[in-house]
Structures are given as structure tokens and as C-alpha cells.
A and B are shown apart, each in its own frame.
Chain A
Amino acid sequence: DIQMTQSPSTLSASVGDRVTITCRASQSISSWLAWYQQRPGKAPKLLIYKASNSESGVPSRFSGSGSGREFTLTISGLQPDDFATYYCQHYNSYPWTFGQGTKVEIE
């Protein structure tokens, strides 16, 4: 199985900051990677698909990059609504797996 490792696990930041979350795959997954945002008590929301494509309706401050084994999610200009937990997920092959999550907290 392909393992997905996110870093950091927790990130403290302020409104307006630029933050970057990293996701590493245990083997190459080409660009078969998605990013999700989950607010407490809510369902996950798809932000990015195929590593760098923004889902319709997602604010432009969210961007994704990478291919192969290393990927990043960047939030340019953190907003109050962005304090949440973010997950990467590969879909290169079965079983799909998620990273362990990165919680973005208010500093």
C-alpha cells in the first residue's frame, strides 16, 4: 500500500499568513493527488484534484503543486474560515489512502 505522510501535523498561523503543507508518498503517484479541507464536525470538502487543479468554487488563495512523491498545498493569505484540518489523498492505485492530516490553528 502507498503511505501518505503530511507535515507538519499542526501549524500555528495568523490571518494573512502564507502557509504551506507538505504531503509525501511512499512511492510515485504521478499527479494522482487530492487535497481536502475539514472543519470541526463537518464533512470534508474537495479543494484540489490531480495535484494542482482547483475545484470549482474554491478561493484562488488555495493552490497545489507537485508530482511524483512530493506535493504541497499553499494558502496565500490565510482567512478566518481557513482554520481547519487539511488532508491529502492519493488515488494512484487501490487502496486509496489519506495523509494523517494537518491542523491549521490560530497563533
Chain B
Amino acid sequence: EVQLLESGGGLVQPGGSLRLSCAASGFRFATYAMGWVRQAPGKGLEWVAVISGNGGDPFYAESVQGRFTISRDNSKDTLFLQLNSLRAEDTAVYFCAKDGPRIGYYGELDYWGQGTLVTVSS
């Protein structure tokens, strides 16, 4: 059974940093691209970042480019999101998600964690 468990969320002041983790199990982690999607309170979904199975090819939403860094440790089946220079508008539940099994492209997020809440406030 595929499981994704996020951690690392919490309350942080504007300008601060956090590191989110997503522990994966139930599938060959290194084989799949992984991504982060966030959802501000009462709002819709916003794609944040994606990374390929081997850790290359990271891509980011413009709203986080230069402030957030996605990475992974395939030896520990764990995905990370480093959040720097945080702003109030980054307040959201952050979901990690696994890319689908189709070969040759990314984009279909077939398993999701339950999310971790990041609150940016003074």
C-alpha cells in the first residue's frame, strides 16, 4: 500500500524558514517523480514543485521560484521541501504527491499525503 506522510509544518515568522519532509512507502520511490501541492485555507489547489526520480529536473511555480527548494533522498525514500523567505501568502496545507506510472511524462498525481500545515505569521 502506497503511503505518504508529511511532517515539518508549523508556525513561522515572516522571513523565516522551514523544511518539510515526506516519508514514502509501498512503492519503488526512486522510480517516480514526486511533487508538492499547497492549499491555502479555504482556497483551491496550487502546484508548487516537482522533481524527477533521480533528483534532477526540478521545476517550480513562479510564486516560489528562488525561495523554495525541492529535493529527495532516495536512500531514505524521503522527499523534502525547503521553504525560505516565507511570506504570509505561503500559509497553506502542503501536500506531497507521487507521480503516476505512465512512462515518458510527468503530471498525473496518483497518490497524495494528508498534508502538513504551514502558518506564516508574526
Which B residues are CB-close (under 8 A) to A34? 107-109
Q: Answer whether residue A95 sits at the interface, using C-beta atoms and an 8 A cutoff.
A: yes
Whether the pair A87, B45 counts as a contact (CB closer than 8 A) is yes
Whether the pair B44, A100 counts as a contact (CB closer than 8 A) is yes
Partner of B108, one of A46, A87, A94: A46
Which A residues are CB-close (under 8 A) to B59? 94-95
Most chain B beta carbons < 10 A, residue from A32, A42, A45, A96: A96
Expressed in whole angstroms, the minimum distance between the Cβ of B30 and any Cβ of chain A is 21
Whether the pair B112, A44 counts as a contact (CB closer than 8 A) is yes
Which A residues are CB-close (under 8 A) to B113? 43
Which B residues are CB-close (under 8 A) to A42? 114
Expressed in whole angstroms, the minimum distance between the Cβ of A53 and any Cβ of chain B is 9
Whether the pair B44, A49 counts as a contact (CB closer than 8 A) is no
Expressed in whole angstroms, the minimum distance between the Cβ of B2 and any Cβ of chain A is 12
Q: What number of A-B contacts does a CB cutoff of 8 Å give?
A: 62
**Size range of the chain A interface in the assembly:** 20 to 34
Which A residues are CB-close (under 8 A) to B45? 36, 38, 44, 87, 89, 98, 101
Whether the pair B112, A49 counts as a contact (CB closer than 8 A) is no
Which A residues are CB-close (under 8 A) to B114? 42-43
Which A residues are CB-close (under 8 A) to B61? 95
Whether the pair B44, A43 counts as a contact (CB closer than 8 A) is no
Render A28-68 as a binary contact track against B, CB cut-off 8 A, 1 for contact: 00001010101000111110011000010000000000000
Binding site for A on B (CB under 8 A): 37, 44-47, 50, 59-62, 95, 100, 102, 105-110, 112-115
Binding site for B on A (CB under 8 A): 1, 32, 34, 36, 38, 42-46, 49-50, 55, 87, 89-91, 94-101
For the complex with contacts A44-B37, A89-B45, 10 further pairs of A-B residues with Cβ separation under 8 Å are A36-B109, A43-B115, A44-B109, A46-B100, A87-B45, A89-B107, A94-B50, A94-B59, A95-B62, A98-B47
